[in-house]
Protein backbone atom coordinates (compact mmCIF):
# COMPACT_ATOMS: atom_id res chain seq x y z
CA UNK A 1 0.00 0.00 0.00
CA UNK A 2 1.21 3.46 -0.87
CA UNK A 3 2.79 5.66 1.79
CA UNK A 4 0.10 7.78 3.38
CA UNK A 5 0.30 11.53 3.63
CA UNK A 6 -0.56 13.59 6.68
CA UNK A 7 -2.00 17.08 7.03
CA UNK A 8 0.95 19.39 7.67
CA UNK A 9 -0.75 21.06 10.65
CA UNK A 10 -3.90 21.18 12.71
CA UNK A 11 -4.98 24.32 10.83
CA UNK A 12 -4.70 22.50 7.51
CA UNK A 13 -6.97 19.76 8.86
CA UNK A 14 -9.43 22.31 10.22
CA UNK A 15 -9.59 24.24 6.94
CA UNK A 16 -10.25 20.98 5.10
CA UNK A 17 -12.92 19.97 7.64
CA UNK A 18 -14.61 23.38 7.41
CA UNK A 19 -14.41 23.22 3.63
CA UNK A 20 -16.05 19.81 3.72
CA UNK A 21 -18.86 21.04 5.99
CA UNK A 22 -19.51 24.45 4.44
CA UNK A 23 -21.14 23.76 1.10
CA UNK A 24 -23.99 24.90 -1.06
CA UNK A 25 -26.41 23.79 1.67
CA UNK A 26 -25.27 26.70 3.85
CA UNK A 27 -25.80 29.32 1.16
CA UNK A 28 -28.62 27.85 -0.82
CA UNK A 29 -30.73 25.66 1.46
CA UNK A 30 -30.33 27.26 4.91
CA UNK A 31 -32.09 30.60 4.16
CA UNK A 32 -35.00 28.77 2.50
CA UNK A 33 -35.48 26.34 5.38
CA UNK A 34 -35.26 29.12 7.98
CA UNK A 35 -37.86 31.16 6.08
CA UNK A 36 -40.20 28.16 5.81
CA UNK A 37 -39.87 27.24 9.48
CA UNK A 38 -40.62 30.23 11.63
CA UNK A 39 -37.43 32.26 11.28
CA UNK A 40 -35.47 32.56 14.50
CA UNK A 41 -37.38 29.80 16.26
CA UNK A 42 -35.89 27.34 13.79
CA UNK A 43 -32.43 28.23 15.10
CA UNK A 44 -33.24 26.67 18.51
CA UNK A 45 -33.78 23.04 17.38
CA UNK A 46 -31.05 23.56 14.75
CA UNK A 47 -28.52 24.30 17.52
CA UNK A 48 -29.86 21.48 19.71
CA UNK A 49 -29.37 18.96 16.90
CA UNK A 50 -25.85 20.23 16.37
CA UNK A 51 -25.11 18.58 19.72
CA UNK A 52 -27.49 15.63 19.38
CA UNK A 53 -26.59 14.52 15.86
CA UNK A 54 -23.85 16.41 14.06
CA UNK A 55 -21.02 16.85 16.55
CA UNK A 56 -21.21 13.29 18.01
CA UNK A 57 -21.11 11.89 14.48
CA UNK A 58 -18.26 14.18 13.45
CA UNK A 59 -16.32 12.97 16.51
CA UNK A 60 -17.16 9.36 15.58
CA UNK A 61 -15.99 9.79 12.00
CA UNK A 62 -12.74 11.54 12.87
CA UNK A 63 -11.94 8.88 15.49
CA UNK A 64 -12.64 5.97 13.14
CA UNK A 65 -10.56 7.53 10.35
CA UNK A 66 -7.65 8.31 12.64
CA UNK A 67 -7.65 4.90 14.32
CA UNK A 68 -8.18 2.69 11.26
CA UNK A 69 -6.32 4.78 8.64
CA UNK A 70 -8.76 3.47 6.04
CA UNK A 71 -11.63 4.88 3.97
CA UNK A 72 -15.22 4.04 5.02
CA UNK A 73 -15.38 0.50 3.55
CA UNK A 74 -12.18 -0.76 5.16
CA UNK A 75 -12.72 1.29 8.31
CA UNK A 76 -15.99 -0.47 9.20
CA UNK A 77 -14.34 -3.85 8.55
CA UNK A 78 -11.31 -3.03 10.66
CA UNK A 79 -13.30 -1.50 13.51
CA UNK A 80 -16.12 -3.99 13.98
CA UNK A 81 -15.15 -7.03 11.93
CA UNK A 82 -15.08 -8.40 8.45
CA UNK A 83 -18.85 -9.00 8.36
CA UNK A 84 -19.46 -5.26 8.36
CA UNK A 85 -17.62 -3.91 5.31
CA UNK A 86 -21.02 -3.57 3.61
CA UNK A 87 -21.97 -0.86 6.10
CA UNK A 88 -18.99 1.23 5.04
CA UNK A 89 -19.85 0.30 1.47
CA UNK A 90 -23.30 1.86 1.84
CA UNK A 91 -21.85 5.02 3.43
CA UNK A 92 -19.25 5.31 0.66
CA UNK A 93 -21.71 4.63 -2.15
CA UNK A 94 -24.24 7.09 -0.78
CA UNK A 95 -21.69 9.91 -0.72
CA UNK A 96 -20.32 8.89 -4.11
CA UNK A 97 -23.84 9.03 -5.60
CA UNK A 98 -24.16 12.54 -4.17
CA UNK A 99 -20.78 13.44 -5.67
CA UNK A 100 -22.11 12.63 -9.16
CA UNK A 101 -24.81 15.29 -9.02
CA UNK A 102 -22.98 17.67 -6.67
CA UNK A 103 -20.45 18.23 -9.42
CA UNK A 104 -23.39 19.21 -11.66
CA UNK A 105 -24.51 21.73 -9.02
CA UNK A 106 -21.00 23.19 -8.85
CA UNK A 107 -21.11 23.42 -12.64
CA UNK A 108 -24.29 25.55 -12.40
CA UNK A 109 -22.55 27.86 -9.90
CA UNK A 110 -19.51 28.26 -12.17
CA UNK A 111 -21.76 28.94 -15.17
CA UNK A 112 -23.69 31.63 -13.27
CA UNK A 113 -20.43 33.17 -12.02
CA UNK A 114 -19.14 33.57 -15.57
CA UNK A 115 -22.55 34.77 -16.75
CA UNK A 116 -22.52 37.40 -13.97
CA UNK A 117 -19.05 38.61 -14.96
CA UNK A 118 -20.06 38.81 -18.62
CA UNK A 119 -23.14 40.82 -17.67
CA UNK A 120 -25.49 38.13 -19.01
CA UNK A 121 -27.49 38.17 -15.76
CA UNK A 122 -28.32 41.88 -15.93
CA UNK A 123 -32.04 42.60 -16.18
CA UNK A 124 -33.00 39.03 -16.98
CA UNK A 125 -36.08 36.97 -16.25
CA UNK A 126 -34.50 34.55 -13.79
CA UNK A 127 -36.76 31.61 -14.57
CA UNK A 128 -36.39 32.02 -18.34
CA UNK A 129 -32.60 32.20 -18.07
CA UNK A 130 -32.54 29.08 -15.88
CA UNK A 131 -34.91 27.15 -18.14
CA UNK A 132 -32.87 28.03 -21.23
CA UNK A 133 -29.64 26.97 -19.52
CA UNK A 134 -30.96 23.72 -18.06
CA UNK A 135 -32.89 22.71 -21.20
CA UNK A 136 -29.85 23.03 -23.44
CA UNK A 137 -27.91 19.88 -22.58
CA UNK A 138 -24.46 20.93 -23.77
CA UNK A 139 -23.75 23.64 -21.19
CA UNK A 140 -24.79 21.70 -18.04
CA UNK A 141 -22.58 18.81 -19.20
CA UNK A 142 -19.68 21.13 -20.05
CA UNK A 143 -19.79 22.90 -16.68
CA UNK A 144 -20.20 19.58 -14.86
CA UNK A 145 -17.04 18.43 -16.65
CA UNK A 146 -15.23 21.63 -15.67
CA UNK A 147 -16.30 21.19 -12.02
CA UNK A 148 -15.23 17.58 -11.60
CA UNK A 149 -12.02 18.26 -13.54
CA UNK A 150 -11.04 21.10 -11.21
CA UNK A 151 -11.59 18.81 -8.22
CA UNK A 152 -9.70 15.90 -9.75
CA UNK A 153 -6.74 18.03 -10.86
CA UNK A 154 -6.39 19.52 -7.36
CA UNK A 155 -6.47 16.09 -5.70
CA UNK A 156 -4.16 14.54 -8.28
CA UNK A 157 -1.36 16.41 -6.51
CA UNK A 158 -2.18 14.76 -3.18
CA UNK A 159 -3.39 15.82 0.23
CA UNK A 160 -0.69 18.33 1.16
CA UNK A 161 0.12 19.80 -2.24
CA UNK A 162 -3.41 19.63 -3.59
CA UNK A 163 -6.18 19.54 -0.99
CA UNK A 164 -4.39 21.57 1.66
CA UNK A 165 -3.23 24.32 -0.68
CA UNK A 166 -6.67 24.59 -2.30
CA UNK A 167 -8.46 24.91 1.04
CA UNK A 168 -5.97 27.54 2.24
CA UNK A 169 -7.24 29.70 -0.62
CA UNK A 170 -10.88 28.58 -0.81
CA UNK A 171 -12.03 28.91 2.80
CA UNK A 172 -10.60 32.33 3.69
CA UNK A 173 -11.79 33.64 0.29
CA UNK A 174 -15.25 32.16 0.84
CA UNK A 175 -15.57 33.81 4.26
CA UNK A 176 -14.29 37.12 2.87
CA UNK A 177 -16.79 36.98 -0.02
CA UNK A 178 -19.72 36.30 2.31
CA UNK A 179 -18.62 39.11 4.66
CA UNK A 180 -18.38 41.56 1.72
CA UNK A 181 -21.83 40.45 0.54
CA UNK A 182 -23.29 40.74 4.06
CA UNK A 183 -21.84 44.24 4.56
CA UNK A 184 -23.33 45.41 1.27
CA UNK A 185 -26.69 43.82 2.08
CA UNK A 186 -26.81 45.45 5.52
CA UNK A 187 -26.25 48.89 4.03
CA UNK A 188 -29.24 48.64 1.66
CA UNK A 189 -32.40 50.61 2.48
CA UNK A 190 -34.86 48.30 4.20
CA UNK A 191 -32.22 45.76 5.24
CA UNK A 192 -33.46 45.86 8.84
CA UNK A 193 -36.75 44.24 7.82
CA UNK A 194 -34.78 41.23 6.62
CA UNK A 195 -32.93 40.93 9.91
CA UNK A 196 -36.23 41.36 11.70
CA UNK A 197 -37.71 38.45 9.75
CA UNK A 198 -34.64 36.27 10.32
CA UNK A 199 -34.40 36.88 14.06
CA UNK A 200 -37.99 37.56 15.11
CA UNK A 201 -39.14 34.37 16.86
CA UNK A 202 -42.61 32.99 16.23
CA UNK A 203 -42.66 31.05 19.51
CA UNK A 204 -45.73 28.98 18.67
CA UNK A 205 -43.71 27.36 15.86
CA UNK A 206 -41.69 25.60 18.55
CA UNK A 207 -44.67 23.29 18.98
CA UNK A 208 -44.68 22.46 15.29
CA UNK A 209 -43.06 19.05 14.77
CA UNK A 210 -42.11 19.96 11.19
CA UNK A 211 -39.81 22.71 12.46
CA UNK A 212 -37.92 20.20 14.60
CA UNK A 213 -37.71 17.62 11.84
CA UNK A 214 -36.52 20.18 9.31
CA UNK A 215 -33.92 21.42 11.81
CA UNK A 216 -32.62 17.89 12.30
CA UNK A 217 -32.49 17.30 8.54
CA UNK A 218 -30.66 20.61 7.96
CA UNK A 219 -28.18 19.87 10.72
CA UNK A 220 -27.50 16.40 9.34
CA UNK A 221 -27.07 17.50 5.74
CA UNK A 222 -25.25 20.76 6.29
CA UNK A 223 -22.48 19.68 8.65
CA UNK A 224 -21.50 16.65 6.56
CA UNK A 225 -21.85 14.42 9.63
CA UNK A 226 -22.29 10.77 8.72
CA UNK A 227 -21.16 11.20 5.12
CA UNK A 228 -17.79 9.44 5.63
CA UNK A 229 -15.98 12.61 4.57
CA UNK A 230 -14.49 13.59 7.93
CA UNK A 231 -13.58 9.92 8.39
CA UNK A 232 -11.50 10.23 5.23
CA UNK A 233 -9.77 13.37 6.48
CA UNK A 234 -9.15 11.57 9.78
CA UNK A 235 -7.01 9.09 7.85
CA UNK A 236 -4.53 11.92 7.20
CA UNK A 237 -4.41 13.22 10.79
CA UNK A 238 -1.17 13.05 12.69
CA UNK A 239 -1.04 10.55 15.54
CA UNK A 240 -1.05 13.18 18.28
CA UNK A 241 -3.78 15.28 16.74
CA UNK A 242 -6.94 16.29 18.62
CA UNK A 243 -10.31 14.76 17.71
CA UNK A 244 -12.94 16.28 20.01
CA UNK A 245 -12.11 19.99 19.91
CA UNK A 246 -11.57 19.86 16.13
CA UNK A 247 -15.02 18.32 15.70
CA UNK A 248 -16.61 21.05 17.81
CA UNK A 249 -14.84 23.75 15.77
CA UNK A 250 -16.08 22.13 12.56
CA UNK A 251 -19.68 21.98 13.78
CA UNK A 252 -19.72 25.51 15.18
CA UNK A 253 -17.85 26.80 12.11
CA UNK A 254 -20.43 25.33 9.77
CA UNK A 255 -23.34 26.85 11.68
CA UNK A 256 -21.53 30.19 11.97
CA UNK A 257 -21.16 30.27 8.19
CA UNK A 258 -24.87 29.52 7.76
CA UNK A 259 -25.81 32.41 10.04
CA UNK A 260 -23.44 34.74 8.20
CA UNK A 261 -25.10 33.75 4.93
CA UNK A 262 -28.50 34.43 6.53
CA UNK A 263 -27.27 37.92 7.43
CA UNK A 264 -26.34 38.42 3.77
CA UNK A 265 -29.43 36.92 2.12
CA UNK A 266 -32.36 38.07 4.28
CA UNK A 267 -31.53 41.82 4.35
CA UNK A 268 -30.72 41.79 0.61
CA UNK A 269 -33.95 40.06 -0.38
CA UNK A 270 -36.14 42.12 1.97
CA UNK A 271 -34.55 45.37 0.78
CA UNK A 272 -34.81 44.59 -2.93
CA UNK A 273 -38.05 42.60 -3.22
CA UNK A 274 -40.37 45.66 -2.83
CA UNK A 275 -38.66 47.25 -5.86
CA UNK A 276 -39.85 44.27 -7.90
CA UNK A 277 -43.32 44.25 -6.31
CA UNK A 278 -42.79 40.74 -5.02
CA UNK A 279 -43.10 39.34 -1.50
CA UNK A 280 -39.69 38.73 0.10
CA UNK A 281 -40.86 35.76 2.21
CA UNK A 282 -42.15 34.01 -0.90
CA UNK A 283 -38.86 34.51 -2.76
CA UNK A 284 -36.74 33.06 0.02
CA UNK A 285 -39.17 30.18 0.57
CA UNK A 286 -39.51 29.38 -3.13
CA UNK A 287 -38.35 25.90 -3.98
CA UNK A 288 -38.23 26.24 -7.77
CA UNK A 289 -37.01 23.64 -10.26
CA UNK A 290 -34.49 21.27 -8.59
CA UNK A 291 -34.62 23.53 -5.49
CA UNK A 292 -32.95 26.32 -7.45
CA UNK A 293 -35.60 28.89 -6.46
CA UNK A 294 -33.91 31.62 -4.48
CA UNK A 295 -30.28 31.22 -5.52
CA UNK A 296 -30.54 30.75 -9.27
CA UNK A 297 -33.88 32.34 -10.11
CA UNK A 298 -34.14 35.35 -7.82
CA UNK A 299 -30.67 36.45 -6.72
CA UNK A 300 -29.55 37.53 -10.23
CA UNK A 301 -32.80 39.44 -10.70
CA UNK A 302 -32.78 41.14 -7.30
CA UNK A 303 -29.08 42.00 -7.27
CA UNK A 304 -29.36 43.76 -10.62
CA UNK A 305 -31.61 46.31 -8.92
CA UNK A 306 -28.89 48.16 -7.01
CA UNK A 307 -25.67 49.89 -8.00
CA UNK A 308 -22.80 47.43 -8.17
CA UNK A 309 -25.32 44.61 -8.48
CA UNK A 310 -23.39 42.84 -11.22
CA UNK A 311 -20.28 42.76 -9.02
CA UNK A 312 -22.23 41.37 -6.05
CA UNK A 313 -24.00 38.78 -8.18
CA UNK A 314 -20.56 37.60 -9.31
CA UNK A 315 -19.40 37.55 -5.68
CA UNK A 316 -22.44 35.50 -4.66
CA UNK A 317 -21.88 32.85 -7.32
CA UNK A 318 -18.13 32.80 -6.73
CA UNK A 319 -18.81 32.13 -3.04
CA UNK A 320 -21.28 29.41 -4.03
CA UNK A 321 -18.68 27.88 -6.39
CA UNK A 322 -15.97 27.94 -3.71
CA UNK A 323 -18.30 26.37 -1.15
CA UNK A 324 -19.28 23.67 -3.64
CA UNK A 325 -15.68 22.97 -4.63
CA UNK A 326 -14.41 22.61 -1.06
CA UNK A 327 -17.13 20.01 -0.41
CA UNK A 328 -16.70 18.30 -3.77
CA UNK A 329 -12.99 17.89 -2.99
CA UNK A 330 -13.91 15.95 0.16
CA UNK A 331 -16.26 13.67 -1.80
CA UNK A 332 -13.70 12.95 -4.54
CA UNK A 333 -11.05 12.29 -1.89
CA UNK A 334 -13.34 9.84 -0.08
CA UNK A 335 -13.94 7.74 -3.19
CA UNK A 336 -10.23 7.99 -4.07
CA UNK A 337 -9.30 6.77 -0.57
CA UNK A 338 -11.56 3.71 -0.95
CA UNK A 339 -9.85 2.82 -4.23
CA UNK A 340 -6.41 3.41 -2.72
CA UNK A 341 -7.34 1.05 0.13
CA UNK A 342 -7.84 -1.78 -2.35
CA UNK A 343 -4.35 -1.20 -3.70
CA UNK A 344 -4.60 1.38 -6.49
CA UNK A 345 -2.24 4.34 -6.66
CA UNK A 346 -3.57 7.85 -5.99
CA UNK A 347 -3.10 8.86 -9.62
CA UNK A 348 -4.90 5.82 -10.97
CA UNK A 349 -7.72 6.22 -8.44
CA UNK A 350 -8.20 9.90 -9.24
CA UNK A 351 -8.41 9.22 -12.96
CA UNK A 352 -11.03 6.53 -12.30
CA UNK A 353 -13.07 8.81 -10.05
CA UNK A 354 -12.74 11.66 -12.55
CA UNK A 355 -13.93 9.50 -15.44
CA UNK A 356 -16.79 7.73 -13.65
CA UNK A 357 -17.78 10.91 -11.82
CA UNK A 358 -18.13 12.75 -15.11
CA UNK A 359 -19.91 9.89 -16.84
CA UNK A 360 -22.40 9.11 -14.06
CA UNK A 361 -23.09 12.79 -13.42
CA UNK A 362 -24.29 13.29 -17.00
CA UNK A 363 -27.85 11.96 -16.37
CA UNK A 364 -28.27 14.55 -13.58
CA UNK A 365 -26.81 17.26 -15.82
CA UNK A 366 -29.32 16.65 -18.59
CA UNK A 367 -32.40 15.69 -16.58
CA UNK A 368 -33.64 17.66 -13.58
CA UNK A 369 -36.02 14.81 -12.85
CA UNK A 370 -33.12 12.35 -12.54
CA UNK A 371 -31.23 14.96 -10.51
CA UNK A 372 -34.20 15.29 -8.16
CA UNK A 373 -34.49 11.53 -7.81
CA UNK A 374 -30.82 11.15 -6.85
CA UNK A 375 -30.98 14.09 -4.46
CA UNK A 376 -34.03 12.53 -2.81
CA UNK A 377 -32.79 8.92 -2.61
CA UNK A 378 -29.23 9.62 -1.46
CA UNK A 379 -30.06 12.72 0.58
CA UNK A 380 -32.31 10.53 2.74
CA UNK A 381 -29.67 7.80 2.44
CA UNK A 382 -27.36 10.04 4.45
CA UNK A 383 -29.63 9.53 7.46
CA UNK A 384 -29.05 5.81 7.04
CA UNK A 385 -25.31 6.48 6.86
CA UNK A 386 -25.43 8.45 10.11
CA UNK A 387 -27.35 5.61 11.74
CA UNK A 388 -24.78 3.09 10.46
CA UNK A 389 -21.97 5.07 12.13
CA UNK A 390 -23.88 5.08 15.41
CA UNK A 391 -24.54 1.34 15.00
CA UNK A 392 -20.85 0.67 14.40
CA UNK A 393 -19.99 2.38 17.68
CA UNK A 394 -22.72 0.40 19.44
CA UNK A 395 -21.39 -2.88 18.02
CA UNK A 396 -17.84 -1.96 19.06
CA UNK A 397 -19.12 -0.92 22.49
CA UNK A 398 -19.84 2.75 23.06
CA UNK A 399 -17.91 2.89 26.34
CA UNK A 400 -14.88 1.19 24.83
CA UNK A 401 -15.05 3.40 21.79
CA UNK A 402 -15.15 6.57 23.87
CA UNK A 403 -12.34 5.51 26.16
CA UNK A 404 -10.02 3.70 23.75
CA UNK A 405 -10.60 5.38 20.42
CA UNK A 406 -11.79 8.94 21.07
CA UNK A 407 -10.20 9.95 24.35
CA UNK A 408 -6.66 9.32 23.23
CA UNK A 409 -3.32 11.01 23.63
CA UNK A 410 -3.27 14.29 21.73
CA UNK A 411 -6.83 15.31 22.54
CA UNK A 412 -7.16 18.84 23.86
CA UNK A 413 -10.44 17.99 25.52
CA UNK A 414 -12.00 14.60 26.19
CA UNK A 415 -15.60 13.68 25.55
CA UNK A 416 -17.85 12.76 28.45
CA UNK A 417 -20.40 10.00 28.96
CA UNK A 418 -23.10 12.04 27.24
CA UNK A 419 -21.54 10.91 23.97
CA UNK A 420 -22.44 7.28 24.74
CA UNK A 421 -26.06 8.19 25.48
CA UNK A 422 -26.38 10.20 22.26
CA UNK A 423 -24.83 7.49 20.10
CA UNK A 424 -26.63 4.55 21.71
CA UNK A 425 -30.09 5.97 22.16
CA UNK A 426 -30.68 9.46 20.77
CA UNK A 427 -29.28 9.07 17.24
CA UNK A 428 -31.20 5.81 16.57
CA UNK A 429 -34.41 7.49 17.78
CA UNK A 430 -33.73 10.58 15.64
CA UNK A 431 -33.03 8.35 12.67
CA UNK A 432 -36.25 6.35 13.13
CA UNK A 433 -38.40 9.45 13.53
CA UNK A 434 -36.80 11.22 10.55
CA UNK A 435 -37.04 8.28 8.20
CA UNK A 436 -40.68 7.60 9.11
CA UNK A 437 -41.49 11.30 8.65
CA UNK A 438 -39.81 11.58 5.27
CA UNK A 439 -41.42 8.34 4.04
CA UNK A 440 -44.80 9.35 5.38
CA UNK A 441 -44.45 12.65 3.47
CA UNK A 442 -43.47 10.85 0.28
CA UNK A 443 -46.57 8.64 0.57
CA UNK A 444 -48.74 11.75 0.90
CA UNK A 445 -47.07 13.38 -2.16
CA UNK A 446 -47.82 10.65 -4.61
CA UNK A 447 -50.20 7.77 -5.20
CA UNK A 448 -47.28 5.95 -6.78
CA UNK A 449 -45.31 5.91 -3.52
CA UNK A 450 -44.44 2.24 -4.09
CA UNK A 451 -43.11 2.81 -7.64
CA UNK A 452 -39.29 2.50 -7.77
CA UNK A 453 -39.21 4.61 -10.93
CA UNK A 454 -41.18 7.52 -9.50
CA UNK A 455 -38.90 10.53 -8.82
CA UNK A 456 -39.74 11.21 -5.17
CA UNK A 457 -41.24 7.93 -4.00
CA UNK A 458 -40.61 5.72 -1.03
CA UNK A 459 -40.20 2.89 -3.54
CA UNK A 460 -37.28 4.53 -5.33
CA UNK A 461 -35.37 5.02 -2.06
CA UNK A 462 -35.85 1.47 -0.86
CA UNK A 463 -35.16 0.03 -4.31
CA UNK A 464 -31.86 1.89 -4.77
CA UNK A 465 -30.69 1.34 -1.19
CA UNK A 466 -31.52 -2.35 -1.32
CA UNK A 467 -29.58 -2.86 -4.55
CA UNK A 468 -26.50 -1.23 -3.00
CA UNK A 469 -26.80 -3.14 0.27
CA UNK A 470 -27.34 -6.49 -1.48
CA UNK A 471 -24.37 -5.95 -3.83
CA UNK A 472 -22.09 -5.01 -0.93
CA UNK A 473 -23.36 -7.96 1.15
CA UNK A 474 -22.63 -10.36 -1.74
CA UNK A 475 -19.11 -9.00 -2.23
CA UNK A 476 -18.46 -8.30 1.46
CA UNK A 477 -15.88 -11.07 1.94
CA UNK A 478 -14.14 -10.33 -1.34
CA UNK A 479 -13.84 -6.64 -0.52
CA UNK A 480 -12.48 -7.44 2.94
CA UNK A 481 -9.85 -9.77 1.47
CA UNK A 482 -8.87 -7.17 -1.11
CA UNK A 483 -8.41 -4.42 1.47
CA UNK A 484 -6.67 -6.50 4.13
CA UNK A 485 -4.79 -8.78 1.70
CA UNK A 486 -5.90 -11.90 3.54
CA UNK A 487 -7.23 -15.25 2.35
CA UNK A 488 -9.76 -15.54 5.21
Partner 1 sequence: METDAVLMMMLSLGLIWGGFFYTLRLAIKKEQLKQQLNKHEKIS
Under the rule (CB under 8 A), what is the footprint of partner 1? 10, 14, 40, 43, 47, 192, 195-196, 198-201, 242, 245-246, 248-249, 252-253, 255-256, 259, 412-413
CB of 331 to partner 1, least distance (A): 24
Q: 199 vs 437, which CB is nearer to partner 1?
A: 199
Q: 43 vs 110, which CB is nearer to partner 1?
A: 43
CB of 350 to partner 1, least distance (A): 31
Closest CA to 257 of 24, 441, 11: 24
CB of 195 to partner 1, least distance (A): 6
Q: In whole angstroms, what is the distance from residue 99 CA to residue 113 CA?
A: 21
Q: In whole angstroms, what is the distance from residue 5 CA to residue 395 CA?
A: 30
CB of 93 to partner 1, least distance (A): 32
CB of 406 to partner 1, least distance (A): 16
CB of 198 to partner 1, least distance (A): 8
Q: 189 vs 412, which CB is nearer to partner 1?
A: 412
CB of 264 to partner 1, least distance (A): 14
Q: 273 vs 384, which CB is nearer to partner 1?
A: 273
Q: 19 vs 126, which CB is nearer to partner 1?
A: 19
Q: 41 vs 96, which CB is nearer to partner 1?
A: 41
Contact in structure between 232 and 65 (CB atoms under 8 Å): yes
Q: 22 vs 121, which CB is nearer to partner 1?
A: 22
Number of Cβ atoms within 10 Å of the Cβ of 432: 12
CB of 51 to partner 1, least distance (A): 10
Closest CA to 322 of 462, 465, 457, 168: 168
CB of 267 to partner 1, least distance (A): 11
Q: 23 vs 300, which CB is nearer to partner 1?
A: 23
Q: 248 vs 371, which CB is nearer to partner 1?
A: 248
CB of 185 to partner 1, least distance (A): 15
Q: 263 vs 366, which CB is nearer to partner 1?
A: 263
Q: In whole angstroms, what is the distance from residue 44 CA to residue 202 CA?
A: 12
Q: In whole angstroms, what is the distance from residue 316 CA to residue 94 CA?
A: 29
CB of 246 to partner 1, least distance (A): 7
Q: 52 vs 87, which CB is nearer to partner 1?
A: 52
Amino acid sequence: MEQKEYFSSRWALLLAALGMAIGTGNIWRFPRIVAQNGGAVFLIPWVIFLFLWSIPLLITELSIGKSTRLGPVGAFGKLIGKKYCWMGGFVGFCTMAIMFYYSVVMGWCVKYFFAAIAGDLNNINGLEFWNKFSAGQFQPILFHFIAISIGAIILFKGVVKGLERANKILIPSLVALIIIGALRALTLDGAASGLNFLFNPEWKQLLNHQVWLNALTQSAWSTGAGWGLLLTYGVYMKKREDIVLNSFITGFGNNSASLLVGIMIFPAVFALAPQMNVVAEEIISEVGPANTGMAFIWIPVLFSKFSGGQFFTAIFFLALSFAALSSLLAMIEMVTRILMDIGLSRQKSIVMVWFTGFLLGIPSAISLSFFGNQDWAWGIGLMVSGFLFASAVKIYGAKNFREKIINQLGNDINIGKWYEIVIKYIIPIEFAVLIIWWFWQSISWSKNWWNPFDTYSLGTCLFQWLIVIIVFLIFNKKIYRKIFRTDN
